[in-house]
Structure 1
Amino acid sequence: MSVPHLTLDLSGLTTKADLHMFFKRELAFEDWYGVSWDAFWDSIVAIADMPVVLTLQHWQDFAAACPRDMKILREVIADYNDYVPSKRIELDPPA
């Protein structure tokens, strides 16, 4: 059963690998999960028991260090919010 709300603090995460391993640990992704946006998508929509609302805080360090990957993360969040209308991922503060 999904928890209603989970807030993750992304402070200090400045590489794509660190971000993905953080998500793997904090969201209890499968052992096979690696550093891939495709694997992230598969995990959040079909495998992991995602919270009803997932809030990502202090994402600015990652955005500054990895602007291309932050753009992808924003796209994944938008797609997820459309694809899974009963759940939501949000950035705090909003991007």
Structure 2
Amino acid sequence: MSEDLAGRLTVTVDLDGITGKAGLMDRVASALALPDWFGRNWDALADSLSDHTVWPEGAVEQGLLVVVRGWRPFAERNPDEWRTAQDVFAEAADRTPALAVVLALGGTS
């Protein structure tokens, strides 16, 4: 089964140089322009990814594609945190048909 991702508002989360969970949360919050009250924990991330009211303008109508780049070094340094991040991304995408999260396999440039 394939899903057409064309036409969705695309947001890139670049994890290049990130060494821990706090940095990951900061990058996601910045990329998605999450509100200041974003809790920077796994539950808050799952809720924000599934909550259309905090999505970037136009994303609800178009759908939202989150592309995660530069994740491999983070995953190697933080395998437990990375598994949790993947679970959160997958759960949010499963709960929210307008959301797709993809892991870019190429470089960060």
Same fold (TM over 0.5): yes
- 1:74 is aligned, of 66, 79, 86, to 86
The answer on 1:61 being equivalent to 2:40 is no
Give the count of matched residue pairs.
91
- Give the aligned partner of residue 10 of structure 1: 15
Note the alpha carbon deviations across 1:15-41, whole angstroms, 9 max, x for none.
101111111122111212233101111
The 8 Å contact of residues 17 and 35 in structure 1, kept in 2 or not, is answered as: yes
User: How high is the sequence identity, in percent, across the aligned residues?
Assistant: 30
Q: Give TM-score scaled by structure 1 length.
A: 0.83
List gaps (5 residues or longer) in structure 2: 1-7
Note the alpha carbon deviations across 1:53-85, whole angstroms, 9 max, x for none.
111011012111211110011111211221111
Structure number with larger C-alpha Rg: 2
Q: Which runs of structure 1 show a deviation greater than 6 angstroms over 4 or more consecutive aligned residues? A: none
Distance 1:40 1:8 in 2: 13
Q: Give TM-score scaled by structure 2 length.
A: 0.74
Structure 1 residue 8, shift from structure 2 partner: 2.4
Q: Pairwise CA RMSD of aligned residues?
A: 1.6
Distance 2:104 2:13 in 1: 10
- Give the aligned partner of residue 54 of structure 2: 48
List gaps (5 residues or longer) in structure 1: none
